[in-house]
């Protein structure tokens, strides 16, 4: 037998793709992804139900006072104070969004794009610090402005990132000064 004869004898057709098997796997994978997404949504709703004891957020006063500081940036969410992974989702506090913060002598106004804005009275502010993370967002050391405030019987940490990170130090100083002034007045 010549080498050409051997090649002719061993020649066979390419295996045909089993489309029904592939389509079955694709449909199964899509159903799995939809199930995981649905479970995540249900978990978010359940967390909101567990936090339903959190009172409604206070409304901003008609005359909030003269702005001391303003900041444009991103709101990254709120957690239970000291527990950076315990996200608070009640009253829309878990929704990330673009935000503008305005600090006055009466409190902190957080105006959010695409989510409900909220207001923190000066008496509820407990302090501010620079940190590296809050639930779902980790940055470099000192890259996140975290403002601690009281709401009902719960202390809350809210995380913000300015478009200009150099502004964070001024915010920490101003909020801490305002909280110490409030403590002295009380």
Break the chain into its structural domains and give their ranges. Answer: 69-185
Q: What share of the chain is helix, strand, coil (3-state, %, to 5)?
A: 35, 35, 30
pLDDT tens figures, 91-141: 888 889 999 999 998 899 999 998 888 999 999 999 999 988 888 778 778
Backbone φ and ψ of 151, nearest 5°:
-140, 115
Query: 69-185 in CATH: which number?
Result: 2.30.29.30
In three-state secondary structure terms, 177 is: helix
Say what the pTM is. 0.76
Confidence label for 18 from pLDDT (cuts 50, 70 and 90): confident
pLDDT tens figures, 41-97: 998 888 888 888 888 888 888 887 888 899 999 999 999 988 888 888 888 888 899
């Amino acid at each position: 037998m010549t080498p050409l004869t051997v090649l002719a004898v061993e020649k066979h057709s390419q295996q045909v793709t089993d489309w029904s098997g592939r389509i079955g796997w694709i449909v199964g994978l899509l159903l799995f992804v939809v199930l995981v997404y649905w479970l995540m949504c249900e978990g978010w709703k359940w967390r909101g139900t567990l936090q339903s004891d959190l009172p409604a957020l206070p409304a901003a006063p008609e005359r909030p006072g003269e702005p001391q500081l303003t900041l444009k940036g991103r709101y990254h969410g709120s957690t239970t104070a000291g527990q950076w992974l315990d996200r608070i989702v009640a009253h829309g506090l878990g929704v990330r969004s673009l935000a503008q913060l305005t600090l006055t002598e009466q409190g902190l106004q957080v105006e959010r794009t695409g989510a409900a804005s909220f207001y923190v009275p000066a008496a509820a502010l407990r302090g501010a610090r620079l940190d590296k993370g809050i639930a779902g967002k980790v940055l470099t050391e000192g890259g996140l402005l975290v403002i601690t405030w009281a709401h009902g019987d719960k202390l809350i940490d809210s995380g913000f990132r300015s478009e200009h990170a150099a502004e964070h130090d001024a915010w920490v100083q101003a909020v801490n000064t305002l909280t110490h002034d409030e403590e002295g007045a009380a």
